[in-house]
Structure 1
Amino acid sequence: MNTLTEKTNRQLLEDADEEYRQTHDGHGRPMIESEDEENEHPSLLFSSSIKTKRIIEPDASKTLRKQGTVRKPVRSSSPPHLNLVTGQWRDNQIVTSSPSAPPSSPSPVMHNSVDCSNATEEHSAVSFDHRSKRPRSNSPDNSAPSRSKRACTIMHGETGSNLRDYSGVAKSVIHKVLLRYENHIFTINAYPDEKTQSEIVRELWDEVSASVKQKFELTPALQSMIKKRGARCHGNIRDRIQPLIAPAYGFQVSDKKKIHQANKNLYVMLSTGGAFSFKTPGDRYRRFENKIIFQAICACWFKNQKTPGIKYSDDYDPIKPESVALIITVLENCIDEWASGKFAPKPLDEDVQWPRYLAHLADIRKWCKANPKVTGNILKQWHNGARSSTGVKAKQMATGYLNDEEEETRVMADLEGRTGETDSEDDDDDAENDATGDEE
């Protein structure tokens, strides 16, 4: 078998040489040097036993292609090839494309992702592309107006910017909120900031709506209308106090320069250190007891039986420091109208009035703490006197008759030594006293 193989190989070589000479003008075929090892078996096939003298090195530039990148042609050196039919050797460079990557199984990411095409409604409601909008929440949208709230009825042809534009129960609700908001300005905070105003309006609106057992929608137009009442309150107080200034302090209306100068001097004295609030401004005696303060309280809140001092009497009994501070603040503005010696109306600038109000409120609170009993009685008397000026009697306090220590001591003495178990204790005591008298 080995001998046959060797003969076959030699015959093939001879045939190849002859064919080569015929096609190459008698030139012989290039010599092939075997690099087989000595111990290599001679029976190896011819195609696998011969090698060229040239060394073919592996292409070091070949790297693994990343998934998703474009396949590039790879240039490599192919081993020389002997055509057994033509006897020609081909050792030229050939260009081959990199083998197509076998179809790989889906990556772990693909296995774990949600297939939107086959997803259920539940999955499709949750899974979404990060570039798309946020999915709609299943929770109710609280930003939308509640359907349970009714719109306030506006009369035909009106804009809804005034109370008279409304009708029915809605008008009554708005009117009550307006009155309570004004009373808040008078007794709690005369100059609230924008945020506080909105909170007050919302709270009052909910309270009044609950009282009529109907829910009405509080629109921005209504909020704006209610908030404007703050400036209106300040203007009304100024209009009530202005006529009191000249008689109370002695300002005179005249065209004479001498009178003008006297008015200027009076203004300087009153405006220095808040002297206008003292009972006697000249010697600064009894601060916050000037008679104009009580007059202003009566004019602003106790003009008649429908004014806030009567309608919301609990908020004015006694008069609150916040209310006194508002009166003092507007008083100061009215006195400033005489600064030139002649009366000249001065607008109420909130940027000026607000810090004045806070300063006066701090001083009044200090005054109240200096002697709570005395100042408390003064504030109480202001309320009682103002209430009486409207013709409404002072409220009767629901108190008993044991109002002092003497009465309490007397009651304790009457109860001492008694059991209270029988109704005849008094009769027995009287009989004993009579018997004792007879013996004497």
Structure 2
Amino acid sequence: QKLTKNDGRPRAQDYNDVTQEFMATVIREYRARLCTQAPMPDHVQETALLSASWARGCQVTSVNLARSPQLVKLVTIRGSQIRGQLKTKLRPLVEAVYGFHSSQSKSAIKKNRALAEELKEGMNFAFKHMAAQEDGWRGFLKAPLIQKIMNMMWFANKHDDGVMFPDHFKPFPHPALALVLTSIECCIDEWATGTRMDVAFTIQEYRGMFESHLNCLREFEEATKQYGVLSGICNKIYEAGRFVATFVHLSLELTATCP
């Protein structure tokens, strides 16, 4: 299996072509399952995700590869990578969309601190017009930032996970939505003092908040089930993402064919 001796971090390129193809399939499946089923998994959930992804790899490639610790690490490390990618993409968006300002002036610091508190109050950041208390659920999950980061993270092009794995992403799953809400809140937490400070987006620090957001989505679904509001929102997120991915692909094709 392994072609190159490497005592450091495991790398897919250290293995032969058959193993690399198998691992690429498993990793892609694991990413999709992780994001849509258990983005902040405990050990039991992580093991279940790995087993299902490994089985899918065997099915797709017709290769039955033993699960060595090194190969397992190649897969499970994707969890922290995905969360890191999401946070990295969100950080500048949160700053720009919500109006935080990097400044050492006392007035700017005070405004940033107040803004962070206001956004976190009652999940205001997830509402279209930050009017959660006055309007109940009205505008919930309609903040433009939410769709924008979905597009960037899972629908950037026709080969992205949201497009390639409709069984997992259609309609857009609640756990992935809760992960996005948690990551947005983590980015807001960086402004809690009024000056942006790095806050690690780790399972240890943010699983509780993730579970809280997931429960909130369940409560929202229950409160509006008569009208199918949340299912409608999740369907729209998926369809809008698919449209963006298709549009990007067509634009690239047109650019390539135009003289």
Scaled by the length of structure 1, the TM-score of the pair is 0.52
Q: Which residue of 1 aligns with 2:180?
A: 327
Q: Which residue of 2 aligns with 1:155?
A: 3
Letter of the 2:236 counterpart: Q
Maintained 8 Å contact 2:34/2:49 = no
CA 1:392–1:172: 2 relative to 1, 3 Å:
farther
Structure 2: gaps of 5 or more residues: 249-259
Per-residue displacement from partner, 1:186-223 (whole Å, max 9, x unpaired)?
Answer: 10111221133223213321331133222111101111
- Secondary structure in 2 matching 1:344: coil
* Aligned pairs, number: 241
Indicate the percent of aligned positions where both proteins have the same amino acid.
22
* Aligned partner (choices 50, 56, 68) of residue 201 of structure 1: 50
* Aligned partner (choices 227, 232, 240) of residue 385 of structure 1: 240
CA distance in 1, matches of 2:85, 2:186: 13
Per-residue displacement from partner, 1:112-157 (whole Å, max 9, x unpaired)?
Answer: xxxxxxxxxxxxxxxxxxxxxxxxxxxxxxxxxxxxxxxxx21234
Letter of the 2:239 counterpart: N
CA distance in 1, matches of 2:60, 2:244: 32
Maintained 8 Å contact 2:87/2:183 = yes
Letter of the 1:201 counterpart: L
CA distance in 1, matches of 2:56, 2:164: 17
Q: Which residue of 2 aligns with 1:233?
A: 82
Q: Which residue of 2 aligns with 1:299?
A: 152
Per-residue displacement from partner, 1:29-50 (whole Å, max 9, x unpaired)?
Answer: xxxxxxxxxxxxxxxxxxxxxx
Maintained 8 Å contact 1:198/1:223 = no
Indicate yes or no: 2:166 matched with 1:318. no
Question: Cα offset for 1:313?
Answer: 2.3
Letter of the 2:166 counterpart: S
CA distance in 2, matches of 1:210, 1:385: 31
- Secondary structure in 1 matching 2:53: helix
Per-residue displacement from partner, 1:64-98 (whole Å, max 9, x unpaired)?
Answer: xxxxxxxxxxxxxxxxxxxxxxxxxxxxxxxxxxx
**Pairs within 5 Å for 1:104-143:** none
CA RMSD of aligned residues (A): 1.9
CA distance in 2, matches of 1:218, 1:283: 48
Q: Which residue of 2 aligns with 1:56?
A: none
Maintained 8 Å contact 1:154/1:165 = yes
* Aligned partner (choices 332, 342, 345) of residue 198 of structure 2: 345
CA distance in 2, matches of 1:211, 1:304: 23
Q: Which residue of 2 aligns with 1:187?
A: 36
* Aligned partner (choices 221, 229, 246) of residue 374 of structure 1: 229
Letter of the 1:363 counterpart: C
- Structure with higher Rg: it is 1
User: Per residue, is there more helix in 1 or in 2?
Assistant: 2
Question: Cα offset for 1:392?
Answer: 5.2
Per-residue displacement from partner, 1:303-360 (whole Å, max 9, x unpaired)?
Answer: 1222111111232222111111010011110000111112222111312211111111
CA distance in 2, matches of 1:198, 1:375: 29
CA 1:344–1:185: 2 relative to 1, 3 Å:
same
Maintained 8 Å contact 2:26/2:53 = yes
CA distance in 2, matches of 1:211, 1:181: 14
